[in-house]
Structure 1
Amino acid sequence: MPQNPPTALATSSTAPPSRRRFFQLSALSGLGTFALSACASNDSLARQANAGDNKNFIAGDGSVAQYAKAERKQPVVLSGKLFDGTAVESAAWKGKVVVLNFWYAACSPCRLEAPRLEALYKEFKPNGVLFYGVNIRDREPEAAAFERTFGVTYPSMEDSDGGVLLSMTQYVPPQAVPTTLVIDTSGRVASRILGTADQGTLKALISDALAGK
């Protein structure tokens, strides 16, 4: 496996879990293949976060996977801290749909999708949907500047040490920045978007999770 991450990732050539739906939002030619793995040692993005270096972001190909209930793994267990020091525990998410978005300030696709995520956060907030960013690189000043610039009002966890990212590799490896995960009311990952989130598609995925699909 190459030491330096490629500019784009494709989903693995090995058979992924069966899906109720699979959307391919865009096709990119010349993409390398990556084996999806629940092991942090085999997850490229996890290694990058753990290294704490300044490599370029790993771009997703825009693919969307929605996992059938029978195929979903065990409920997510993680803990983190917001930039203001507030503790975040997944145990508090019981009965809630949760959206996790992995990002950092210098990531150009993250800037593109930020207004979309904010719009969906405002739309679904009355339904009790929780949104959290997971910032894998920045310190508070950089993250706060990004949020001011793009009008982001939902909170983000500070994850420059890769703790939250590494926790997620046992469920559905993010493998790209940005990656957006939708967690169902049972705490299990219901869907994943690798790369820039399309607003309409993410809305549909959140709506399905709210409906118990």
Structure 2
Amino acid sequence: MRGRRVLASVASAVIAATVLSGCTATALQSQYENGDNKGYISGTGVTEIKPADRKEAVPFSGKTEEGSTFSTAAHAGDVIVVNFWYAGCPPCRVEAKTLQKLSTQYAGKGVDFVGVNTRDDAASAKSFDTTFGVTYPSILDAQKGAVQLAFSGTYRPNATPTTIILDKQGRVAARIEGPINDQPSTVSTLIDSALAEGRS
């Protein structure tokens, strides 16, 4: 009789654990079940850092999909918009045209756009550029991860896509997690704010 009670208790515990685990499904599991961007989680949110609270400059450089080198040193004094992405990322594909439109809008105004491709080879990155009409360069960071490491401090890219705006001194002025197409005016405002700094 006692053995039956023990078995019944164990069975109840197993059932309870199963039910609880079902109630605490991860975001990834929920997306899979719903069919929304299966296997993928995107962040969301905007963080703006006041000039007085900004950390040191974030210097970086790397080879682009075209074989040239992009370095922050070559763009000193400009505002730099850094977008972390990869070709198979659904939100990255959605925001690509908005980023391209912004890069065209700010061309010749002291604002430079650069992508940081975190997973792809040159051929995949070029194919993405052709498909979405992207004309600004992207650093291929999949093998070494040097650019991702450069941003490994407080305002690191926690999700893909993430867009980081560097001020004229190369410091992180803002971070936008998630696709920017949902908030292009916010991005423009952040860029304009960084551009206006230091003007009399």
TM-score, normalised via structure 1 length = 0.71
Find the structure with the greater CA-based Rg. Answer: 2
Deviation (angstroms), 1:159: 0.6
Could you say what secondary structure the match of 1:126 adopts? Answer: coil
Q: How does 1:1-150 map to 2 (within 5 A)?
A: 7=28, 56-61=39-44, 63-150=45-132
- For these two proteins, the number of residue pairs brought into alignment is 162
The one-letter amino acid of 1:121's match is: S
Q: Which residue is 1:180 aligned to?
A: 163
Work out the CA distance in 1 between the residues paired with 2:41 and 2:53.
Answer: 26
Quote the sequence identity (%).
44
Of Structure 1 and Structure 2, which has the larger fraction of its residues in helix? 2
Unaligned runs of 5+ in 1: 8-54
Q: Which residue is 2:192 aligned to?
A: 207
Task: Establish whether residue 190 from structure 1 lines up as the match of residue 191 from structure 2.
Answer: no
Cα deviations by residue, 1:130-159 (Å, 9 ceiling, x for unpaired): 000000001111111111111111111001
Q: Which residue is 2:6 aligned to?
A: none
Work out the CA distance in 1 between the residues paired with 2:154 and 2:68.
Answer: 24
Could you say what secondary structure the match of 1:65 adopts? Answer: strand
Could you say what secondary structure the match of 1:102 adopts? Answer: strand
Deviation (angstroms), 1:85: 2.0
The one-letter amino acid of 1:187's match is: G
Could you say what secondary structure the match of 2:168 adopts? Answer: coil
Work out the CA distance in 2 between the residues paired with 1:112 and 1:192.
Answer: 18
Unaligned runs of 5+ in 2: 1-25, 29-37
Change (3 A) 1:186 1:165: same
**1:73–1:171 CA contact under 8 A, matched in 2:** no
Deviation (angstroms), 1:91: 1.6
Hey, which bits of structure 1, 4+ residues long, moved more than 6 A?
none
RMSD in angstroms over aligned alpha carbons?
A: 2.0
